[in-house]
Amino acid sequence: MNKKLKLQFILFIFFPLVLIFSSASASTSSTDFLSRQKIFYKVMELSNAEIKTLNENLNNLRIDNKDYAQKREEFLKKLSEFEIYNKEVKEKISKTETLEDLKNLAVDFKNWREQTYNPQVQIMIDFSLIFKQQEILATTTERFEKISKDVKKLTNLGAEQKQQLNSLLETAKEKLNSANDFFQKAKIELDDYLFNSSTELATTTSTENTTSNLATTTESIEIKKQFNHFECQELIKKSFETIKEIYEIFLKMSDLVKAT
C-alpha cells in the first residue's frame, strides 16, 4: 500500500469516527442516531477495503524463500482474523440502540486499530515494500548490465564521448551499489525483527517444605523486539530514489549516443 492510499484510509476511517465521538451527547433524535450509525457502517466498509488491498499486495509478491512464504501466510491468516473482527463490529453496530452505545463501540474499535491492528499492518506494509524494492533492484541491475555490454560494442564514438559514457556508467554503478546497500540495511532490520526474537531470563526462587535448600528455577521469557518502521521505510525510500537517479543517468547516456 503506497503512502497516499494509506493516508486516504486513515482520513476516511478516523474522521468519521471523530464525528461519532463528538455527537454522542449532542443529540438523542432517532434521525441523528441513524445518521451516525450509517457513518460507522461506512467506516467498516473502508476498513474492509483496506484489508482487501493488503491481501492483494501480499498475494502479488514474488516469494521463493520458504521462510518468507511462511511469514506471508501468517500475515494473510492475521488479515482473515481482522476481517472476522470487522464483521463482529458490524453486527454490533446493528444492535446499538443509543448514541452512547455507538460511541462506546467506536472507541473500542479505534483502540483496537491503534493497539492491535496498526502495529501488525505496518509490518505487513514494510514486508511488501521490501519485496517490491527487491524486484525493482533486480530489474535495474539487469538493465545496467545490458547497457554496459552495449557501451562496449560501440565503435563509432570519439575518445571524449567514450570517456563521458564510461564516466556516466561508473556513476550509475556506484549509485546501484548505494541503492542495494540501503535496501540490504532495511531488509536486515526487518529480518531481524521477523526471525530473531530476543529473550530475557527471569529467575525465581522458591523453598519446598521437604528440604532446607532453596530450589532455584529459571524461566525464559520471549520478548519481541521493537521495530523502527520509520527507519526501515526511510532506507527503502532512499534506495528507490537512488534507482530513479540511475535511470536519469541511463537517459543521459542514451541522449549522448543519439547525438553522435
| Average pLDDT for 216-233 | 69
Q: Which residues pair with 215 in a beta bridge?
A: 206
Domain boundaries, the chain: 3-124
| Average pLDDT for 7-29 | 52
pLDDT of residue 199: 46
| Average pLDDT for 233-237 | 96
The position carrying cell 540501503 is 182
E strand segments, 100-251: 198-207, 214-223
Query: What burial letters (b/e) apply to 215-254, b meaning 16+ CB within 10 Å?
Result: eeeeeeeeeeeebebeebbebbebbbebbeebeebbeebe
Question: What is the distance between the alpha carbons of residues 72 and 18, in angstroms, rounded to a whole number?
Answer: 33
SS3 content of the chain, % helix, strand, coil (to 5): 80, 10, 15
Q: Is the pLDDT of residue 50 over 60?
A: yes
Identify the residue with better confidence: 167 or 197: 167
The cell for 53 is 488491498
pLDDT tens digits, one per residue of 55-80: 999 999 999 999 999 999 999 999 99
pTM over 0.85: no
pLDDT of residue 106: 92
| Average pLDDT for 200-222 | 49
Question: What is the distance between the alpha carbons of residues 240 and 132, in angstroms, rounded to a whole number?
Answer: 10
pLDDT of residue 223: 54
Average pLDDT, the chain: 84
